[in-house]
Amino acid sequence: MSIQGYEEELRSERDYVAGLYARLDAERARVKDEYDTALGGTGGTPMERDVRVRTSAREVKRLDLGDNGLCFGRLDALSGEHSYIGRIGLFDEEDDYEPVLLDWRAPASRAFYVATAASPENMRRRRQFHTRGRQVVDFTDEVLGRPDGDERGDAALLAAVNAPRGDGMRDIVATIQSEQDEIIRLDHPGVLVIEGGPGTGKTVVALHRVAYLLYTQRERMERHGVLVVGPNPSFLHHISRVLPSLGESDVVFTTTGGLVPGLRATAVDTPEALRLKGSLKILEVLRAAVADRQRLPENPLPIELGGVTARIDAETAAWARDEARASGQPHNEARAVFTEIVTYVLTERAISRIGKGWLSRSDREAWERTRADLVKELSADAAFTAALDELWPVLTPRDLLGALLESPERLRAAGADEALRRADGSAWTVSDVPLLDELVDLLGADKSVDRAAERERKAAAEHAAAVLDGLVGRQDSMDDEDHLFATDLLFAEDLAERFVEHDTRSLVERAEADRDWTYRHVVVDEAQELSEMDWRVLMRRCPGRSFTVVGDLAQRRSEAGATAWGPMVEPYVPGRWVYRSLTVNYRTPAEIMGVAAAVLADFAPGVQPPESVRACGVAPWSRRVTEDGLAAAVEEFVRDEAQREGTCVVIGPPDVPGTVAVSETKGLEYDAVLVVEPERILADGPRGAAELYVALTRATQRLGVLHRGPLPEVLAGLTAVGSHPQR
């Protein structure tokens, strides 16, 4: 294309995109008016107005996405037709709703991502726009169907991967590659496992898959939302903008330490404790710990009843315990069975003594009347309640687990390993969370609390009904919109019930507060770190077993993590899980990946490293420093990088000032990375090599290494320098 032809095409494309923005603004203004009208509460029933408010609010949010990169490409078919691809879809209402902009998730947009020179998908050309704000700056064309065609669309892709990193992950709707698109659109109802080495984009692919599923299965998924589980809070912050930028906000982000409402555990157990807690064998320990709290009295417990003394002996408690356990109910709910048996025995014994000489068992009416009086007396008796609490206490997960972990005696009674003991049982760790969640089911609810909540709810409903009864009714002025009319509802009680039960919190707020909330889809990132117990928690949260699981077994550091995917997921979805791999590294330049690959080959010789799509032209370096010179060298690196555009991080052992631990950088990326004392990282346990591999592959442009001892042999590919390179 000549320069003149290019300029003419550019003006034409700018005009078209400007027209799209004009259409977007007009559509947004129209929908905003609808929203304001619905919010004003005129016309229709309250329920109908509520539906209109929600519908128009959702449409306003969808249209707001177009402000940033509304249109990013065009497809030219062999037939001569043009299709513009963008962040959302727009239609021409005057032309039978013909699309003027295709949503990137629409089936008709797929060729934009998968068409190649060898397989052009009936397309002649793919055009990608480079925009600044609402302005098209320039464009690049890729002619399809020719032997020398560019199969990856490298111009736009390389511009994206070479750009300096900001404060969070960006969406990739404009640069999705063919192998990524195949996974994003995969139609599989069960568990999809995506494995890929560093920089292959597995996280962003998983998030775009969520956006795609919400687009294609909106009605099925939107009422329950999506759960995204990541390795640490920094990672969650890093990815938190991607889904909102794609129009999806009904998503809960958490770590495994936040899967129990009201708890955000971040502390990490010792490797041995983590291994023990992560194994399914801990289930037997938990069950035994619950059973250990269902006690028999060492000596009979006296209870004053009806003027006589009755006793709860071991035989009575054993009968009650056996019946309660046989009921199959959780511990707290089975307490009612235990109480019923003990109450029966005590009242029988008391009646026999109270009525001796005048009350016959054959007089059932008198006998049961006396029993009813004694049962009422027992229900208010503090000594009886104390006895029940001693023999069959109401337990909470935190009370039981905390007491178990700090007591050698309780651990022995439950058949647990001494390695689980700690001084403060309630100093919660991440690996305690699945145990606490399991105990919710083993213990069950405290029925007395549930009954109190139900009484409070009914009282509130009755109060609301009384208030609304005074409002409902026809007024003198039939067009007075400030009053409720009898035609708006059938009964005040019905509206009161809605008033009390209507929850104004967002879906995210409700889901985070409700342990029993179930999601339609779950994304698990860095899934190789999850234990068997972690998977039990997550499967509980998604009965439909719809998961996107991403990870890299070579990067596993947890002693309780996965060594293979099948054993973790197959028990929950037999025959309903599929595996896909990503092989191209879009983040780590070839120079850095070469160094990291040597580390990978040393500890996982059978694993193939991902292929980098680019080189950065900057050699990774190493520098040996003295103990006194280490801090100054770190400061020098940070100072020099502060003068560049982009982000940087210093990774090293926890006791080195100015560094962050490898675990805090998992899933993250930085323009420049300085790894401090790699020899100590390697020496830190059996997974030290994997830790070093993770640290080296966080860099997108520049990598440096500072070492005090001899440089590990696996890092021989680094260029030795005398000071921090100035580039």
Sign of CA dihedral 715, 716, 722, 727: negative
3-state class of 675 per DSSP?
strand
3-state class of 605 per DSSP?
coil
Residue type, position 348, single letter: E
List strands edge to edge, sheet with 123-132.
Answer: 90-92, 98-103, 82-86, 71-77, 123-132, 135-143
The three-point CA angle 38-42-43 to 5° equals 100
Which two structure tokens, joined as six digits, stand for 349?
């014994």
User: In a 10 Å sphere around its CB, with 0-12 CB exposed, 13-18 middle and 19+ buried, how is residue 726 labelled?
Assistant: exposed
Phi, psi for 16 (deg, rounded to 5)? -65, -45
- Give the residue among 453, 427, 339 at the shortest CA–CA distance from 389: 339
- Answer yes or no: are the C-beta atoms of 434 and 558 closer than 8 Å: no
Residue type, position 210, single letter: V
Q: What angle, rounded to 10 degrees, do the helices at 3-40 and 46-64 form?
A: 160
DSSP H helices in 133-225: 154-162, 178-184, 202-216, 218-221
201 is in an annotated binding site: yes
The three-point CA angle 274-275-278 to 5° equals 80
200 is in an annotated binding site: yes
3-state class of 164 per DSSP?
coil
458 is in an annotated binding site: no
116 is in an annotated binding site: no
How many angstroms separate the most distant Cα atoms in the chain?
Answer: 119
Given the DSSP bridges, would you call strands 135-143 and 123-132 parallel, antiparallel or unpaired?
Answer: antiparallel
Which two structure tokens, joined as six digits, stand for 552?
């890299």
Please tell me the total number of residues recorded for the chain in this structure: 727
204 contacts: CB under 8 Å, gap ≥ 6: 169, 171, 172, 239, 242
3-state class of 137 per DSSP?
strand
Cα within 13 Å of Cα(698), Cβ side: 29
User: Which regions of 434-566 does DSSP assign to beta strands (E)?
Assistant: 521-524, 547-551
What CA–CA distance (Å, rounded) separates 698 from 555?
A: 12
The three-point CA angle 582-201-132 to 5° equals 140
203 is in an annotated binding site: yes
- Give the residue among 435, 513, 434, 526 at the shortest CA–CA distance from 236: 526
667 is in an annotated binding site: no
256 is in an annotated binding site: no
- Give the residue among 670, 647, 667 at the shortest CA–CA distance from 205: 667
262 is in an annotated binding site: no
Four-point Cα dihedral 229, 234, 236, 240, nearest 10: 180
3-state class of 103 per DSSP?
strand
- Give the residue among 618, 616, 596, 615 at the shortest CA–CA distance from 607: 596
What CA–CA distance (Å, rounded) separates 684 from 689?
A: 9
Query: Which helix (H) or strand (E) is 350 found in, with range?
Result: helix 331-354
The three-point CA angle 195-541-402 to 5° equals 105
What CA–CA distance (Å, rounded) separates 439 from 286?
A: 7
- Answer yes or no: are the C-beta atoms of 163 and 518 closer than 8 Å: no
What CA–CA distance (Å, rounded) separates 70 from 88?
A: 7
Phi, psi for 321 (deg, rounded to 5)? -65, -45
Binding site residues for ATP, as ranges?
196-203
Residues comprising the binding site? 196-203
